[in-house]
Structure 1
């Protein structure tokens, strides 16, 4: 792919700005810096590839230099082949329009930190705003003006105990040889070899093979600051739980990945549990599992097809795939072409096999396609009738994902109480 410039008064002459092999992820020349005003060389127009410049909506290419020696600027990210060894780096290049000669104006360090360009104030003068963060230091913004660097913000980390909690990231292998990653956050007072109750939180995704799965991890940033949302399960480390966030790859031929859904789901979770058990991290008799949306759907599937989990938390899920008969996620076959796949993947159809206790929550105004609010009451009524242990909370005025303070606080009260009851340590009887 080529992006080039032309002078409007010399439309037959082209000036190459970038050339890129689109099949090579690591060959990234960057994207043109855009501005809302006309730059010094306004007689040029950027055309060609269309993949780098972006723009539109009244934007123009930022230009500098002198008449007859105009320059443009490219910004981008350098990714390395082993993201566990080297984290991403940001850069800005100055490119001569007429000669294509490049000069590196800025390149961030990745020595224990991640720094990215947040705004280009004056590309020609090298005036930038960058954001710098580390795994233990919250991001701060800095003004770079030539050789001068001035800190602009004083952001505060309100959860330093979670930021600095011990973490592990490792690869596990399923019986079929497929390898995938697991992220584990440990309580601050965790002692090696001490087995703790654990809460798993996951969201399965579909892949065609190992290569396509591995490609997804190319942008991993080991130097980024860990961000926590209002529903991040990592808060549970304050109560002594190990928090496990595994990838959950569902693998198969294009268009038929879900033929292996139940098989891969079970083997993914079994491989993670076995590895954590071998490391002496978890008490495998005190495990919880949860997820939101497709993660909620998969939580119920895991609890009806495996005996691993004593407690489940499932939010805004779909539990009966016959109500999405024209496809869902990466499934493109319609119900009438693959009825067994739809039925086998519907935890509602296997509700009688539920093991453990499940807590359902759902926004009463969920407008997401496929996760109408009626899904949770239908499953809850079925579980009730089957004498299974279940609870359900429906939240008014909430869409596909809790947003209000009141709902968030209520959810945490329900979740923690649920786990305290169902993952409580049982005293073994004296025999």
Structure 2
């Protein structure tokens, strides 16, 4: 392994008040943890649209620090890899191998012709499921490839490179024979050179207009950044046929969106326009919405959306004017969009919040008002000429509604749901889609019965999650459960198309997830995969879903892991609690059971379960609800509630006999890190804390954070009380902090950890700050992850397990 320098800051023991700065190469945690980090994951499964084929996609392991250390440019809220003009993310959805399984014959095939050192992304199926397009992230650019599943052959379709930094990288034409893709302009040349001699100051100005905004990262800072953004984001739309012949569509632009009408005759296009902003990311920039014909000629100019720097405060705030343009997927070429009726301001009283409009091709008539909403528009689920479902929501009150309408006339047929989004027990699930008359996705209807659809959901209940498939008559509200997970398994539907079978992923605490086909009539089943346990060293680890009361009666839950062969007579164990606070407006919803007792343990860098191999009792996903009913806001009593949550859990596991009250650590990532620092500042419950990539001074996020919609000036006392930075002099429990130096997350700038470290150090606390070079909010490289685990293990061994 390449040894690379890691810089961090270290605060010595409480009695010595020593401040030190050290240099250290990346370290390795104990081998039991290294083996789990390096364990190969099971393949990801993906079905084609008609359910005849299944892809088994293999993802690579963690990247090396050398890979993640490649240059990244932050522009307008986007992280761009300048080497190949792609978005630089946390490396999910990238595959380096695949197998194709024929679900009728069971035969498995490999594709020939795949690129060397493949990094497959953006998988997109054609209408009949016989082909899929994908991109390959090569060092020089993003390549367009085609996989033919009749010949089992992969071919690069074009010598040009795609723009994968922003917009819709690729999509199929409804005919299944052409692909529309965003190409880099071959004539763009080298990137603009920066003039190192300033031509003047950078000026921002506000002339008395209320312009609140949250804290964003990687924003534009000057005119050079603007020129870089235009260089990296400008694309040329091109249609590519299956032989690789290319036709230009329209003109070069920064494409926000491009979508074919279901009949393939038109393109709905949105392009970013000037003026750009230094205050908000690109999705708030001005943009123009137009309709082009399939060859790229202008048919209709729809709307020029202005710069959205001046949105009102609140999670239900939206821009004025038309928004959320899309095609009605069950019709040939009908545009739909919504417009706010309250100036987009949730703080204004209004009987109506949004109106849904429709406009049919050739787009010359007046728009038709389709549906008026008392809440904010969320989505439309299109079915056929008789049925569509309109979804509304109001995030402040956690309200959501679904209404069944006739999409031709707008006539309301009936209200389908009016519920709290927090109430997981009553969640009817997500609608299952099928192929519409133009190959676009629409509601999957039961043949021969009007208004009968299907949903699949998590099946939250007092017994834990029990995923299901539901057959639902929207007209009579009759519901039939076609499939439901049964103990001692967690069985999750992964594909259903109403052909008499359901494909599920089945797992248990001891069995790794595998795919099964179940005949719904005969109940016979067939195993389709035989993935092996990637974590044999965890065999025998005891896993239990706990349910315990908070002192105000709320039922809480957490997943307890105990070392293999552990018995209570062995005595209580040191404990690591890992949690993440969540806001609720209902006590009942906060007390609902989360998760399932039958899940197989999956490990990722955010998991604390690694430490069960080190002799700790681990409590993962410990409930940390913050409740504010009625006019009360959850954060008004944040500190009291996190203490009550932690106390309830500690008392419960101590009473079980598995936890040593004097040797308990608490930790979390992001908002969980914020929680950890607060618990250490305001309680004496813990022996140590681990806080990764958190925010600790809420005055630095003054226009809202997490679920808090009020500004600092509206709730100054709440912001100040919730900021552990303000109580750094009270943090005497040993605290380990880690942070990615290139953290891109809104609100969690690395300075948050640096300033809290300095404050605790200045008051003689025991604290250690580890800054990880080239890491984002989620750590990506093997070296950084293993070093973070080494730091955590050292901290836990010293201040928890072997506490003096």
Gap change, CA 1:256 and 1:2, over 3 Å in 2: closer
1:78 and 1:383 map into 2 onto residues whose CA distance is 43
Distance 1:185 1:70, change over 3 A: same
Shift of 1:272: 2.0
For 1:353-390, what per-residue CA distance to the aligned partner results, in whole angstroms no more than 9, with x for missing partners?
A: 11221111111111111111111111112222222111
Match of 2:507 in 1: 133
Match of 2:440 among 50, 54, 58: 58
1:33 and 1:357 mapped to 2: Cα distance?
50
- Partners of 2:515 and 2:485 in 1: how far apart? 15
CA apart distance, 1:277 = 1.9
Question: How large is the RMSD of aligned CA atoms in angstroms?
Answer: 3.6
Deviation at 1:92, TM superposition (A): 5.7
Aligned to 2:643, what secondary structure does the other structure show?
Answer: helix
1:167-204 deviation digits (Å, cap 9, x = unpaired): 33333333444432233211113221411111111112
Aligned residues: 398
CA 1:117–1:355 in 2, change beyond 3 Å: closer, same or farther?
A: same
Structure number having the greater helix percentage = 1
Q: Which stretch of structure 1 is more off in the superposition, 253-262 or 371-380?
A: 253-262
Give 3-state SS (helix, strand or coil) of 1:211's partner: helix
Aligned counterpart, 1:233: 608
Q: Would the aligned equivalents of 1:200 and 1:287 in 2 still touch at CA under 8 Å?
A: yes
Give CA deviations for 1:25-73 in whole Å, capped at 9, x if unaligned: 76777665433464xxx8xxxxxxxxxxxxxx9324456758xx89975
Select 2:596's aligned residue among 200, 221, 244: 221
Q: Residues 158 and 354 of structure 1: is their aligned pair in 2 closer, same or farther, counting only changes over 3 Å?
A: same
In the alignment, is the contact (CA less than 8 A) between 2:545 and 2:596 conserved in 1? no
Contact 2:488 2:508 in 1 (8 A): yes
Rate the CA distance shift 1:371–1:65 in 2: closer, same or farther, 3 A: closer
Q: Contact 2:606–2:669 at 8 Å: present in 1 too?
A: no
- The 1-side partners of 2:509 and 2:772 are apart by 35
CA distance in 1, matches of 2:484, 2:633: 43
- Partners of 2:544 and 2:646 lie apart in 1 by 17
Which residue is equivalent to 1:361?
738
What SS does the aligned partner of 1:420 have? helix
Following superposition, the deviation at residue 392 of structure 1 comes to: 1.0
In the alignment, is the contact (CA less than 8 A) between 2:456 and 2:469 conserved in 1? Answer: yes
3-state SS of paired residue (1:138): coil
1:402 deviation in Å? 1.0
Residue number among 74, 81, 88 corresponding to 2:466 in the alignment: 88
Distance 1:311 1:151, change over 3 A: same
Q: How far 1:243 moved relative to its partner?
A: 0.8
Could you tell me which residue of structure 2 aligns to residue 34 of structure 1?
433
Q: Report Cα offsets for 1:96-124 as digits up to 9, x if no partner.
A: x9x9899979424514223332123x53x
Aligned positions of 1:244-393 closer than 5 A: 244-245=619-620, 246-253=622-629, 254=631, 256-393=633-770
- Residues 134 and 380 (structure 1 numbering): CA distance in 2 closer, same or farther, change over 3 Å? same
Q: C-alpha separation between the residues in 2 aligned to 1:203 and 1:78?
A: 20
Counterpart Cα distance in 2 of 1:204 and 1:103? 34
Shift of 1:166: 1.5
Is contact 1:196-1:241 (8 Å) kept? yes
Q: Which residue in 1 is equivalent to 2:459?
A: 79
Q: Are the counterparts in 2 of residues 83 and 220 from structure 1 also a CA contact under 8 Å? A: no
Other structure's SS at 2:783 match: helix
Counterparts in 2 of 1:250 and 1:127: CA distance versus 1, 3 Å: closer
Change (3 A) 1:64 1:284: closer
- Find the aligned partners of 2:419 and 2:477 in 1 and give their Cα distance: 24
2:712/2:719 contact within 8 Å kept = yes
Secondary structure, aligned partner of 1:388: coil
Tell whether the 8 Å contact from 2:383 to 2:442 is kept in structure 1 after alignment: no
Change (3 A) 1:5 1:235: same
> Given the superposition, is the C-alpha separation of residues 322 and 223 from structure 1 closer, same or farther in structure 2, using an over 3 Å criterion?
same
Gaps of 5+ in 2: 1-379, 388-407
Matching residue within 137, 151, 157 for 2:533: 157
CA distance in 1, matches of 2:654, 2:530: 42
State the TM-score, normalizing by the size of structure 2. Answer: 0.45
Matches within 5 A, 1:400-419: 400-419=777-796
Relative to the length of structure 1, the TM-score reads 0.79
Shift of 1:94: 9.3
Distance 1:201 1:106, change over 3 A: same
- In structure 2, the CA distance between the partners of 1:137 and 1:426, relative to structure 1 (3 Å rule), is closer
Pick closer, same or farther for the CA change 1:340–1:71 going to 2, 3 Å. closer
Contact 1:199–1:287 (8 Å) recurs in 2? yes
2:737 and 2:753 in contact (8 A); partners too: yes
1:114–1:132 CA contact under 8 A, matched in 2: yes
Pair 289,80 (structure 1): closer, same or farther in 2 beyond 3 Å: closer
Aligned twin of 2:545: 169
The alignment partner of 1:309 has SS state of: coil
SS at match of 1:380: helix
- Measured in 1, the distance between the counterparts of 2:553 and 2:427 equals 32
Q: 1:111 to 1:424 in 2, by over 3 A?
A: closer
Matches of 1:166 and 1:7, distance apart in 2: 52
Give the gaps of 5 or more residues in structure 1: 43-56
Deviations 1:283-320 (A, max 9, x none): 21112111111110111111111112222110111111
For residues 103 and 272 of structure 1, the distance between their equivalents in structure 2, rounded to whole angstroms, comes to: 38
Q: Deviations over 1:315-335 (max 9, x none)?
A: 111111110111222222221
Q: 1:126 to 1:417 in 2, by over 3 A?
A: same
